[in-house]
């Protein structure tokens, strides 16, 4: 496929790479040489402001990909055959909106660089997103449009080979606290017990005492059960470990605790692991580097995968900091308060540093749903959550992409609001790993 435009830009190159290479798996060549383009005998696309010839596929361009600055922007939204789209163009184009501009806007997270009303942790909330405002947050909209765009290209050039779309499922765990009661500092054990007593949570207090006496298994320590399920359903699995210094939101076990170290090494011997940067690492210089060194020391391998604790993602600072410390794959792209596709895509994609106007080596792996979102933010029952997730998976099977599920080991503890969720978790695994009907 030959792509012609009168002007080259980093934004255009990035959008072309994501659309053609990452979503369509189609090789392309770009040129600004009109004579070379005109003489090309094979499939070719013109991206520009006006049609030059009648024998090519013409994509009308908006100005976004030829700019080199940030400015307040609210893309024109439209609905085509039930699918939302951004950046409508004038009649005459062979495609009714600027798909390349839509890709760039969604993937660069352009809206997150503009003014927005942050949540209590300073995060960009789903309510501020164009995806939620225009009802496509739970749709992998870029995967959908890429699929339809590929079909349009096939209609124009029937001999054009486009690989079949593949659905993948990835299971990821954030391990914030490996134990609820065991291996905790004595003041936390005592303080937690007093809090349960004052709130009348007799069941939780009794469980705490039984665990500390060695009569019951700690409710957060369910790693053998997880291994059994993973062996049964065989999903791609990844663990992220919180190894921060103690803090209000960083409640992991002491990194020097022998049982904690042994647990991490046992899991790392069987599954890929990554760092779960602490809440405090976002504001205290040097902490993230120390946490990465801790995981490197425990596993004996370089740490290149990461997901932010509390999903503390601030652009571009967070991603620049990760890149500087050797992280090459991040899994933080999602919302705490809503399920769905924060960047409009269900496929890994390279991060574009918008203020620097350059593509980077950091690959972003979006997640689609998180247990805490389903239960505590959206207040769904286990049955409702299962139906919601199954619908999203079924949608994605049609267009291809990776459905990444974020779960916590603590989300099996019935005493803190997770009654019935272990069954939901297993039913999601069974549904996601089942062969397509």
The predicted model scores a pTM of 0.94
d(CA 282, CA 77): 35
Q: In this prediction, what percent of the chain has a pLDDT beyond 70?
A: 94
Token duo for residue 110: 């352009």
Give 188's pLDDT tier (boundaries 50, 70, 90).
Answer: low
User: DSSP assignment, residue 238?
Assistant: E
CB 436 within 8 A of CB 397: yes
State which H helix or E strand residue 389 sits in: helix 382-399
d(CA 322, CA 362): 9
CB 305 within 8 A of CB 272: yes
What pLDDT does residue 193 have?
A: 45
**In this predicted model, what pLDDT tens digit does every residue of 402-419 receive, in sequence order?**
999 999 999 999 888 999
Q: In this prediction, what percent of the chain has a pLDDT beyond 90?
A: 85
CB 398 within 8 A of CB 363: no
Residue 186 predicted with pLDDT over 50: no
**In this predicted model, what pLDDT tens digit does every residue of 287-311 receive, in sequence order?**
999 999 999 999 999 999 999 999 9
What pLDDT does residue 415 have?
A: 81
Token duo for residue 191: 């303080």
Give 437's pLDDT tier (boundaries 50, 70, 90).
Answer: very low
What pLDDT does residue 390 have?
A: 98
**In this predicted model, what pLDDT tens digit does every residue of 52-85 receive, in sequence order?**
877 689 999 999 999 999 999 989 999 998 999 9
Identify the residue with better confidence: 259 or 201.
259
What pLDDT does residue 202 have?
A: 42
The residues, ordered by sequence, that sit 6+ positions from 210 with a Cβ below 8 Å of its Cβ are 216
d(CA 35, CA 304): 45
Residue 29 Cα distances to 33, 127, 429, angstroms: 12, 39, 40
User: DSSP assignment, residue 127?
Assistant: G
The helix/strand/coil state of 145 is helix
What pLDDT does residue 214 have?
A: 78
Q: Which of 396, 363, 350 lies closest to 16, judged by CA?
A: 350
Residue 199 predicted with pLDDT over 70: no
What pLDDT does residue 56 have?
A: 80
Phi/psi of residue 338, nearest 5 degrees:
-145, 150
**In this predicted model, what pLDDT tens digit does every residue of 156-169 receive, in sequence order?**
999 999 998 899 99
Residue 358 Cα distances to 46, 252, 385, angstroms: 23, 36, 39
What pLDDT does residue 359 have?
A: 98
Residue 225 Cα distances to 88, 183, 219, 266, 355, angstroms: 50, 20, 11, 14, 45
CB 145 within 8 A of CB 83: yes
CB 104 within 8 A of CB 65: yes
Identify the residue with better confidence: 92 or 315.
315
State which H helix or E strand residue 227 sits in: helix 223-233
d(CA 341, CA 359): 21
d(CA 238, CA 254): 22
Residue 94 predicted with pLDDT over 80: yes
Token duo for residue 92: 């005459």
Q: List, in order of start, the domains of the chain with CATH numbers.
A: 2-156 (no CATH), 167-180+218-433 (3.20.20.370)
CB 348 within 8 A of CB 135: no
Q: Which of 237, 241, 259, 257 lies closest to 295, judged by CA?
A: 241
What pLDDT does residue 405 have?
A: 98
**In this predicted model, what pLDDT tens digit does every residue of 323-361 receive, in sequence order?**
999 999 999 999 999 999 999 999 999 999 999 999 999
Specify the length of the chain in residues: 437
The residues, ordered by sequence, that sit 6+ positions from 372 with a Cβ below 8 Å of its Cβ are 336, 408, 411
What pLDDT does residue 255 have?
A: 95
Residue 398, number of CB atoms within 10 A of its CB: 14
């Amino acid at each position: 496929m030959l792509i012609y435009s009168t002007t080259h830009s980093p934004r255009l190159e990035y959008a072309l790479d994501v659309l053609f290479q990452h979503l369509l798996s189609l090789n392309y060549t770009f040129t600004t040489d009109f004579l070379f383009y005109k003489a090309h005998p094979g499939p070719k696309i013109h991206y520009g402001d006006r049609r030059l010839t009648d024998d090519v596929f013409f994509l009308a361009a908006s100005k976004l990909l030829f700019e080199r600055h940030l400015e307040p922007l609210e893309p024109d939204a439209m609905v085509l055959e039930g699918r939302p789209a951004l950046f409508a163009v004038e009649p005459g184009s062979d495609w009714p909106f600027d798909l390349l501009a839509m890709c760039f806007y969604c993937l660069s997270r352009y809206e997150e660089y503009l003014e927005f009303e942050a949540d209590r942790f300073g995060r960009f909330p789903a309510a501020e997103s164009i995806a939620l405002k225009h009802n496509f947050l739970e749709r992998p909209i870029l995967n959908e449009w890429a699929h339809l765009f590929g079909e349009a290209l096939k209609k124009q050039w029937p001999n054009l080979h486009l690989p079949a779309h593949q659905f993948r499922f990835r299971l990821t765990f954030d391990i914030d606290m490996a134990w609820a009661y065991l291996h905790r500092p004595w003041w936390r054990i005592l303080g937690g017990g007093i809090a349960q007593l004052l709130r009348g949570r007799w069941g939780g207090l009794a469980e705490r005492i039984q665990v500390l006496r060695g009569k019951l298994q700690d409710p957060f320590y369910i790693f053998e059960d997880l291994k059994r399920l993973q062996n049964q359903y065989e999903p791609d699995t990844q663990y992220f470990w919180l190894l921060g210094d103690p803090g209000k939101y960083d409640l992991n076990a002491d990194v020097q605790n022998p049982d904690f170290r042994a647990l991490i090494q046992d899991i790392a011997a069987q599954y890929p692991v990554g760092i779960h940067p602490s809440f405090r690492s976002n504001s205290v210089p040097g902490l993230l580097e120390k946490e990465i060194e801790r995981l490197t020391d425990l596993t004996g391998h370089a740490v290149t995968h990461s997901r932010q604790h509390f999903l503390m993602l601030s652009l571009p600072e967070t991603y620049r900091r990760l890149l500087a410390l050797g992280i090459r794959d991040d899994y933080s792209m999602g919302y705490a308060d809503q399920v769905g596709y924060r960047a409009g895509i269900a496929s890994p994609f390279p991060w574009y540093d918008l203020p620097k106007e350059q593509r980077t080596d950091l690959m972003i792996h979006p997640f689609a749903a998180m247990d805490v979102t389903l239960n505590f933010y959206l207040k769904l029952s286990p049955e409702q959550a299962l139906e919601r997730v199954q619908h999203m998976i079924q949608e994605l099977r049609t267009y291809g992409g990776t459905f990444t599920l974020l779960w916590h080991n603590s989300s099996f503890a019935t005493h803190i609001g997770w009654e019935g969720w272990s069954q939901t978790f297993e039913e999601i695994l069974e549904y996601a790993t089942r062969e397509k009907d």
